[in-house]
Amino acid sequence: LKANRILKNLGSSSKGGSTLRRVLVSFQFIISIGLMISTLVVYKQINYLHTKDLGYDSEQVLSVRLAAPDTPGIMKGQMLKIPSVSAASAVNLQPATGDSGATFEITDEAGETHRDIVSMATIDYDYLDLMGIDLLKGRNFDPDFGNEVSKIIVNQTFVEKYGWEEPIGKQIEIGEWEEGEEHVFTIVGVTEDFNMLSLYEEVKPFAFFLSPQFNWGPQYLMVKMASENYQATLSQIQTAYESVEKTRPYSGIFLDDYFELIYAQENQKAKIYLTFSALTILVACIGLFGLATFILQSRMKEISIRKVLGAKMNDIMGLISKEFILIIFISSLIAIPLAYYYSQDWLNSFAYRTSFGVDVFIASVLITLLIAMASISIQALKTARTNPADTLRDQ
């Protein structure tokens, strides 16, 4: 048997076509691995958004839109008559709906005066307790202290920005009020930081005032539900609302559901990435299967000779798989830095973001590799099991 005569012209006529096939399949796997990495990063960020501590408790809190600023007291009283409602509080700003602010004149610890626009919300006495916003220093608003409309509660970031060692008792002047309104406020409490906006934005200096101080009347009523029988409680809440408000239809949403709406675009993006990842991997595997068929047919004689010379099934499978593993490896080297750059750029749109490391890259490559190997395994096994006599009969 003259092995050199059998092998001398193998692949000579189709070398260019084989190279083109390899390049095309490699390109498909670059896209597949890149999309797989991006998909895993998007899902990690979405999970991070859902689990990050916002600094307040949004669970079982229903936000009811108020029609008129002069009805919150009556509306709140009606809500508290419902047995499964544990608390209610009026506020002018629902978490993550937007921002409101005013110009504050503040003297920092070094004695320098600043005029800054500071985010703020007007609340009632029960808001901090209902939302589970913890105080680090000082106290909550309390009607027993008398003139609370001239008091203010700020967050930790507010204190840190102006370098105060002891913020309680500091006075802040707020301009642009109507004549006769209080415009000098005294800090009575400092809360832990909380994220009143979405996680696209960093925690800002924030201030709470009592609602009676402002022309900005309460626009929302936060209702804390104690029962898990949501449907019955929601029906009672709507009935209570309609007993007070006759002109504006009832509109209420759980804060958790509202946050889902905020990040719906990211959820949709994750689904799109997952779909395209699956499709590109499928297309790449089809291309890989075609390439495998082409290569195995062109190397059939070589494989047969190796079997005649004593090569075992594992040796043949290793020989067949090695080239395809190399294709995926090279594709990974190109896809990983591209996907890393894109993923980091997307994550930078969030003020608070997850981190990802080599586990994401390894998982993406392994998933792609396993699917690819599965797609060619049938053809590879068929070739490895071929009787050498059938291939070399006419040689």
> What pLDDT was estimated at residue 101?
77
- Amino acid identity of residue 30, one-letter, is I
Which is nearest to 56 in space by CA: 154, 194, 224, 226? 194
Helices (H), 163-229: none
Q: What is the pLDDT of residue 24?
A: 80
**Burial letters 233-262, b for 16+ CB under 10 A, else e:** bbebbeebbeebbeeeeeeeebbeebbeeb
* Structure confidence at residue 162 (pLDDT): 92
CB under 8 Å to 298, separation ≥6 — which residues?
A: 10, 11, 14, 18
- CB 307 within 8 Å of CB 370: no
pLDDT-derived band at 333 (thresholds 50, 70, 90) equals very high
Give 127's pLDDT tier (boundaries 50, 70, 90).
Answer: very high
pLDDT at 8: 46
pLDDT, greater one: 126 or 279? 126
How far is C-alpha 355 from the chain's CA centre? Answer: 11
Q: pLDDT, tens digit, for every residue of 288-328?
A: 777 777 777 766 777 677 666 666 666 666 777 787 788 88
pLDDT at 142: 92
Q: What is the pLDDT of residues 168-208, one digit of tens each?
A: 999 998 865 555 455 889 999 999 998 887 777 888 899 99
> Average pLDDT in the 21-29 region?
81
Predicted local confidence at residue 281, as pLDDT: 76
Residue 16, pLDDT > 50, answer: yes
CA-CA distance, 140 to 72, in Å (whole number)? 20
- Which of 66-70, 123-127, 332-336 comes out lowest in average pLDDT? 66-70
Question: Looking at per-residue confidence, does 262 or 385 come out higher?
Answer: 262
Q: What is the pLDDT of residue 7?
A: 47
- Which region holds residue 139: left if phi is over 0, alpha if psi is between -120 and 50, else beta? beta
pLDDT at 36 over 50: yes
Which of 8-12, 43-47, 77-81, 255-259 has the lowest average pLDDT? 8-12
Give the tens place of pLDDT for each residue, 364-382.
899 888 887 877 777 667 7
- The two three-digit tokens of residue 114, written as one number: 């600043």
Is residue 6 pLDDT above 50, yes or no?
Answer: no
Check the CA dihedral 283-289-291-294 and report its sign.
negative
Question: For 213, which DSSP code?
Answer: G
**What pTM does this model have?**
0.72
Contact 120, 201 (CB under 8 A): no
Instruction: Please report the pLDDT score of residue 11 as a whole number.
Output: 45
At how many degrees (to 10) do helices 300-308 and 264-298 cross? 70
The pLDDT value given to residue 356 = 87
